[in-house]
Structure formats: C-alpha cells, structure tokens
Amino acid sequence: MRVLPAIDLKDGQCVRLKKGDYDTAHKVAEDAVETAKSFLAAGAELIHMVDLDGAKDGSHANYDVVRRVLAETGAQVELGGGIRTMADVEAVLALGVSRVIIGSAAVKNPELVREAVAQYGDKIAVGIDALGGTVRTEGWLRDSGEDYIAFARLMESYGVRTIIFTDIDKDGMLEGPNFEQLGRLRAAVSCGIVASGGVSTLSDIARLRDMGIDEAIAGKAVYTGALDLAAAIGEAK
C-alpha cells in the first residue's frame, strides 16, 4: 500500500477543510512547493492535490501552483477538482500530472469517464465522495442520490482502474476512516481503491493495508503532526 500526502489548494494557498465545508478553510502551510519537497523527503511516491476552487466553480485558478510544484520538485502528482470535460482532462495532463481525478462530472456525465479511460487508461481515476452512502457532487454540496457501491461498479465496468473513496463525514476530523464502507467497497470491486478521509494514525494505515486497500490519502493528520509521514509510509509497506 502507498500513502499519498495531500495538498488542497484554495486561492493559491495550502488549506484544509472539515467535512468539505469551504467556510472551515484554514491555511496549513506557507508554500505548496516547499510542502511537496518535505513530502518527497519523507519518502512519498505520489502527492494528492485538489483544486478546491475548481471543484466549486470550474475555474483553473490554482493550475499555476500545480505547475510550479511539478517543475520545481519533480514530484509525481495526481490532481482533482473541476475536471468536467475532455478539454479539462487534456489541460491537466498537459501540466504533467500522473493521474487525473474525475469527480462530480463522473456522476453527471459518465460518458466522459468512458471516453477518458479509452484514451488515457490508468491515468484516469474517479473520485467517489459519499455522505451517508450516497455520492455527493459540486464540491460535496449536492446529493446525487447515487449509491456509492453501485456507482463504483459502474465506473469499474467502464475500465476505471483507480477509485478514490472519501467519506465526507470523516474528512478532516482525525477520527479514522470509514472502515465499514471501505470494506464493502473492497468486496464489491476489483480495481484499485484509495482511502480518503480521517486517516490519522499508524493503526489506521495498518488496518487499511490489511484490508487490501491500495493507497491511503493523509491530509490534516500530517499537517498537525498527529501522523508522521515517513513512519506512515513505512507502515504501509
């Protein structure tokens, strides 16, 4: 299993939210490039980045920051947030990212996922953000009514090889992942699963690893010091 440290961008700054609430945004680091360098020094192989402005309004306001991280650190990066068309997919890949995360658009326009996977294969991941078992869209603000398991199976049937699952109730709360929902998801699909939301201790990492989860995103716990990234990466392996 791999641990992916997270950099969430809003107005060009590194921030964290609680339960996806934009009103809770607070800056957690001075500079995305220096943050990425520290993650690489700890042994990270892939950095998870989210354009929060893009997720909310479809803008590409933070792409310059992503470009700087890639150019100045040489990091492998996956990026999500506001990717709604094939042109968006192509623009993100042109930045040099390794994996593009399609979130809300996968629910509203599943054919986009089918087309993107046909063209770019495992460079495409789908983000499934759930609250109470149903998939949320529009920066987690709107309930689609889609069951997360049924939606994951649909995405896998389109050839998606990586699903990033977030339990919104756990995000930024340092309370551990939703192991029950992740277990159900692991039993339902055979593609790669990335756990996101609540990952905060080495025991969380060990449990996810032993469940057969492929990757885990660590955000707030790394910034607060509750989780030592290097130790987490070692535990995952």
pLDDT for 8-36, tens place per residue?
998 888 777 765 556 666 677 789 999 99
Q: Which amino acid is at 125?
A: A
Q: Which amino acid is at 136?
A: R
Are the CB atoms for 18 and 24 separated by under 8 Å? yes
d(CA 164, CA 173): 18
Catalytic pick from 51, 53, 88, 129? 129
pLDDT for the residue 105: 94
Domain that holds residue 61: 2-236
d(CA 14, CA 53): 12
pLDDT for the residue 22: 60
214 a catalytic residue: no
Structure confidence by residue, pLDDT tens digits, 93-110: 999 999 999 998 999 999
What count of other Cβ atoms lies within 10 Å of the Cβ of residue 181? 20
Q: Which amino acid is at 193?
A: I
Are the CB atoms for 97 and 36 separated by under 8 Å? no
d(CA 203, CA 187): 21
Task: Please give the distance of CA 85 from its chain centroid, rounded to a whole number.
Answer: 18
Please state the domain count of the chain: 1
Residue 181 pLDDT class (50, 70, 90 cuts): very high
Question: Which tokens is 51 given?
Answer: 């354009």
Q: Which helix (H) or strand (E) holds 38?
A: helix 32-41
Catalytic pick from 8, 53, 167, 204? 8
Question: Which tokens is 56 given?
Answer: 């909310």
d(CA 162, CA 45): 16
User: What is the CATH number for 21?
Assistant: 3.20.20.70
Report the pLDDT averaged over residues 49-74: 90
171 a catalytic residue: no
User: Global pTM?
Assistant: 0.92
